[in-house]
Structure formats: C-alpha cells, structure tokens
Amino acid sequence: MVACTPHPGFGTVSIRNGALVRHVDLGTCRTWSSRLKLPTLRPQALTIAATRTGLHGTQTIVYRGRSVHTWQERYDRIPGGTPGPIELFGMSPDRRWVLFAIDPMNSASLAADGLTLQAVPVTGGPPRVVATGLLDDDYRAWCGGRLVMTVGNDRIAGHHKWLIDTGPPGWHARKLVRDPTRAFGALACDGNGVVVQAARSSTTTIDPRWELWRVGLDGTHTVLDTPPPGFSDDSPRVSRGGRIVFIRSHASRGTLWSPGVGALTAVGRDDGFYGHRPWATVSWSLQR
C-alpha cells in the first residue's frame, strides 16, 4: 500500500494479501490491518448431489432438499466424465430459477474458453440455454429485473465479446450494443443499466486498453472514462447511491479511482488472465 488521497464519502476499501487484510478509510486515509476471517460453514440451500458406481453416475441440482434436475454421467470414454461436472452460478432474484453450467469433460482448457450458462426452474422441467461466455462473477449482473451478461467464446477478454440482457421465463437474449468492433468486459449494475469495460476488439491484444462505458437497458451508451495510453480501467463497482469506483491499472498494478474525482488509493497487483483482471482481493464497503 502506498499513497492515499482523502475523499470523504467513499467508504472503506480492503485489500487482501494472503491471510492479512489491509483496510483504508478513504475519507481520512487511516489504515489498519486484520487477519482474514474464514467464512462460517452453514448448510447451503442450493447444492449438487453426486453418485457414482463404476463407470456410471448421476449429478443432481438440489434446492432446499428437493431435486431440481438430474443428469446421467458416464466415465467409460472420458475419465473426467460426460457430460461433465455441474457448476452452480446462483439463482434468479425471485428464487424460481437456478443458473448453472456444465464443464465439458471436466476440461479446464475448454472451460477457460467459456461455458454455456443454463437455467432450470426450481419446480423442475427442461433446462433453458441462456448464453455462452466466460461466466466470471463480474461478467454478469441482475439489473432492473434482467440478467445482463458479457458473452462470446474464447479466453481472450478483448476479442469479440458483446453485451446481452435476458431473463425468465423465456430467456431470450437481446444484444444491447450493436458494434462488432468493440469488446465488452466486466460490468456492474447502476439501477437501470450497467457500467462496463469496453475496448477495441482484437484477436492479438491480451492486455486491452479498457475504458468505461455506461450502457442502459434500452441500448443507449456513453463513455464515462478513458484511461491514458498504457493504462486500463478495470473492475467497475457501483454503490446503491450511484457512486462509481474502478481500478486503473498499469503494468498489472492498480489504483482505486472514481470518475471526476481521480485517484483514491493504491490496491496492489493483479496479473489477470488474457486481459481480464478481476481484482478479487479488493473489496469496497460503500453501500449507500
């Protein structure tokens, strides 16, 4: 941790480094440290139940003790199993749909190029295909009752990724911005739209110069912030009151930033993966 510039009203940022967490009050720049608290293990309402006998098995999504959907799994040709392990991606806000994806053949390489998100009603029934994308936590958000996602195949974050919105019961996807020269990345809901990364689409650039756009659910869009050459605006976050922060990075080192305000505090390093830096070690406390 290095410099901090006091800005009252921006809450507290926490930066995790192993078992140590450094906290910075952004209003006063007061800093203190704490030990990482392990989460309390509690029974989960949404789980996967798996069985296996020899070369055959099953996987079942279970919600509140009730089976939602079951798949037959085979291990005779593919050691990782086919169709593959189920990954859960939460539920719709009304708790009526479960979001999940299948990791084909338990292949980390295939999963790195994107997974197909699906939705299944908790009351049972056939799953619905939602969209295919990288499925990182910061690549999708519920916003205005709709699921907004960054979608598109391959692991290069800055190559041909687009924004959609979709939702139950039909899960019909609608492209929000029709610009094939752009790639979109991490996003955060601001009430009736999203603050999202945008960059020129490229098959060769694995370190895009991300800028920030604001995209409404009606498809309107404006540029919020453009970084200097050699920098990237990553990991946008929005408080309930509409304050926006993001991490401006250069050579993998980042500074917490706010549009119209500037630098708040340094937050360390994130080398990312093919142009996507999730900054998962950084959390921002402001909720209002």
**Residue 263 · residue 257 · CB < 8 Å:** yes
Write b or e for each residue in 155-186: b if 16 or more Cβ atoms lie within 10 A of its Cβ, otherwise e. bbbbbbbbbbbbbbeebebeebbeeeebbbbb
Whether residue 2 is predicted with pLDDT greater than 70 in this model: the reply is no
**Residue 63 · residue 45 · CB < 8 Å:** yes
Whether residue 76 is predicted with pLDDT greater than 80 in this model: the reply is yes
**Residue 255 · residue 264 · CB < 8 Å:** yes
Q: Are residues 143 and 248 in the same domain?
A: yes
Closest to 285 in 3D by CA, of 3, 37, 25 = 25
Whether residue 93 is predicted with pLDDT greater than 60 in this model: the reply is yes
* pLDDT value of residue 41: 62
Each residue of 216-235: pLDDT tens digit?
999 999 999 999 999 999 99
* pLDDT value of residue 1: 45
Q: Are residues 120 and 169 in the same domain?
A: no
How many distinct structural domains can be found in the chain? 2
Q: Are residues 185 and 273 in the same domain?
A: yes
| Side-chain-side CA neighbours of residue 68 (13 Å) | 25
Q: Are residues 224 and 152 in the same domain?
A: yes
Q: What is the pTM of this model?
A: 0.92
Looking at the chain, the whole-number percentage of residues with pLDDT higher than 70 is 98
Instruction: Tell me what the pLDDT averaged over the chain comes to.
Output: 93
Last residue of a domain, one of 132, 167, 199: 132
Whether residue 271 is predicted with pLDDT greater than 80 in this model: the reply is yes
Each residue of 123-171: pLDDT tens digit?
999 999 999 999 999 999 999 899 999 999 889 999 999 999 999 999 9
Last residue of a domain, one of 74, 101, 132: 132
Q: Are residues 1 and 92 in the same domain?
A: no
Whether residue 113 is predicted with pLDDT greater than 70 in this model: the reply is yes
pLDDT grade, residue 111 (50/70/90)? Answer: confident
* pLDDT value of residue 276: 95
In terms of residue numbers, what domain contains 143? 1-36+134-288
Q: Are residues 115 and 235 in the same domain?
A: no
Q: Are residues 249 and 158 in the same domain?
A: yes
Last residue of a domain, one of 113, 132, 151: 132
CA 25 to chain centre: 25
Q: Are residues 10 and 73 in the same domain?
A: no
